[in-house]
C-alpha cells in the first residue's frame, strides 16, 4: 500500500450513537468509588535523587490496582505530573527518568498487570478477547477505567499541580493515552506512540501478528459472533475517543509497523478533535515508531506544555 493510501485508509469501525452516553455512565460509576489510595515508600527502589512509592487504589468491580509513583527528592513547589500507561505485554514502567526531569510520575498497572492481577488475570494472550461480546463486562471496560483512575490519583496529590498533568505511552500505552485524554478533560497534554486499540476489525485484516490475532483466533472458534464482537469493540475503539480530545497532543507511528498498522494510526490521528495536534510518521521504522528519534520530541513537548 502506498503512502497516500495509508494516510487516507480510514476505518470500517462505526462510532455508536450512544458512545458518549455509555462512557459517561461508566465514568459516573467509577467516580462513586473512593480511590482509597495507599502510598508506601520503597527504600530498595528509591535513590538519592528520586523517591519511589508503591501505590494501590480501588477501581471498577472492586479490583485493587497498583502502580509505581516517583517523585524528585528535591522539590519545593507543586510539580507538573506525567502518567505513563503500559503496553500490552510489558509490565508497568518505573518512571524515574521523568521524576529526575522534575515531574511527579506515575507508572500505571491496570488489571492483569503485575501486582494488579490477584483478582483479574486473563493472561497474554487472553486480555483482548476476554468477554468480547458484552460491552458491560468486556475486559477493557475495567482496564480503561484503571488508567483513568491512575490519572485521578495524580490529580489528588498535594504535591501535584492539577493544571499541569500529561499522559503518555506507546502501543497499548498509545491507545490508553487516547482513552485517558478523551475521558478526562483535566489532561493538559498527551503523547501517544504507535497507538494500539484503534481500528480493531481493520487491524485484523491489515496485520497477522499478535495481539490483534487474538480476535481472529476467537472468531475462528465462534464465527457466528462476528457482529457481536464488532459491536462491542466499537465502544472501545481508540479512534472513537478522538472527538472527545481537546488538549494538545502528538502522535508518532512507524510506517512499517506490523503490530499496530500505520493505517489505523493515521485514522486515529485524523479523528482527534483538538486544534493543537501533530503527527510524526517515521519511514523505515516498525513498532518502535521511531522512538530513538522521537524521545526528544516527547520531552520537549511536555516541557513546553507542562513547564517543569
Say what the pLDDT of residue 293 is.
Answer: 95
Superfamily the domain 3-303 falls into: Alpha/Beta hydrolase fold, catalytic domain (3.40.50.1820)
Residue 4 pLDDT greater than 80, yes or no: no
pTM, two decimal places: 0.97
287 in catalytic set:
yes
Based on C-alpha coordinates, what's the Rg of the chain? 18
Low-confidence winner among 113-117, 143-147, 180-184 (lowest mean pLDDT): 113-117
61 in catalytic set:
no
| Average pLDDT across the chain, whole number | 96
> 156 with 37: CB under 8 angstroms?
yes
Residue in 255, 238, 252 with CA at minimum distance from that of residue 175: 238
Query: What pLDDT digit, counting tens, does each position of 266-288 carry?
Result: 999 999 999 999 999 999 999 99
Dihedral class, residue 3 (left if φ above 0, else alpha if ψ from -120 to 50, else beta): alpha
Say what the pLDDT of residue 1 is.
Answer: 63
Identified catalytic residue from 170, 171, 234, 281 = 171
Grid cell, residue 150, equals 491512575
pLDDT interval class at 210 (50, 70, 90): very high
State what percent of residues in the chain have pLDDT above 90: 94
C-alpha pair distances (Å), 299 with each of 14, 80, 163, 166: 34, 13, 18, 11
Query: What pLDDT digit, counting tens, does each position of 40-97 carry?
Result: 999 999 999 999 999 999 999 999 999 999 999 999 899 999 999 999 998 888 999 9
Identified catalytic residue from 56, 240, 287, 305 = 287
- Could you give the count of Cα atoms lying within 13 Å of 200 in the half-sphere of its Cβ? 27
171 in catalytic set:
yes
State what percent of residues in the chain have pLDDT above 70: 99
Amino acid at each position: 500500500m502506498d503512502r497516500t493510501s495509508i494516510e487516507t485508509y480510514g476505518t470500517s469501525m462505526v462510532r455508536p450513537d450512544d458512545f458518549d452516553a455509555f462512557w459517561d455512565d461508566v465514568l459516573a460509576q467509577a467516580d462513586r468509588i473512593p480511590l482509597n489510595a495507599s502510598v508506601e515508600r520503597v527504600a530498595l527502589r528509591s535513590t538519592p535523587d528520586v523517591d519511589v512509592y508503591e501505590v494501590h487504589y480501588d477501581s471498577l468491580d472492586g479490583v485493587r490496582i497498583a502502580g509505581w509513583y516517583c517523585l524528585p527528592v528535591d522539590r519545593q513547589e507543586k510539580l507538573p505530573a506525567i502518567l505513563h500507561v503500559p503496553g500490552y505485554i510489558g509490565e508497568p514502567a518505573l518512571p524515574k527518568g521523568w521524576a529526575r526531569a522534575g515531574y511527579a510520575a506515575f507508572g500505571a498497572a491496570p488489571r492483569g498487570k503485575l501486582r494488579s492481577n490477584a483478582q483479574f488475570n486473563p493472561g497474554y494472550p487472553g486480555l483482548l478477547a476476554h468477554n468480547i461480546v458484552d460491552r458491560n463486562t468486556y475486559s477493557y471496560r475495567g482496564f480503561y477505567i484503571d488508567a483513568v483512575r491512575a490519572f485521578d490519583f495524580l490529580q489528588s496529590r498535594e504535591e501535584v499541580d492539577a493544571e499541569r498533568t500529561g499522559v503518555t505511552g506507546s502501543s497499548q500505552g498509545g491507545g490508553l493515552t487516547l482513552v485517558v485524554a478523551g475521558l478526562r478533560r483535566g489532561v493538559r497534554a498527551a503523547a501517544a506512540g504507535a497507538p494500539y486499540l484503534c481500528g480493531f476489525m481493520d487491524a485484523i485484516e491489515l496485520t497477522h501478528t499478535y495481539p490483534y490475532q487474538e480476535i481472529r483466533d476467537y472468531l475462528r472458534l465462534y464465527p457466528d459472533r462476528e457482529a457481536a464482537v464488532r459491536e462491542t469493540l466499537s465502544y472501545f475503539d481508540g479512534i472513537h475517543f478522538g472527538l472527545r480530545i481537546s488538549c494538545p497532543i502528538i502522535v508518532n507511528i512507524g510506517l512499517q509497523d506490523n503490530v499496530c498498522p500505520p493505517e489505523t494510526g493515521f485514522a486515529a490521528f485524523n479523528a482527534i478533535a483538538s486544534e493543537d495536534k501533530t503527527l510524526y510518521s517515521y519511514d523505515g521504522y516498525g513498532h518502535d515508531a521511531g522512538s530513538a528519534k522521537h524521545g526528544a520530541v516527547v520531552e520537549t513537548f511536555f516541557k513546553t506544555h507542562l513547564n517543569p
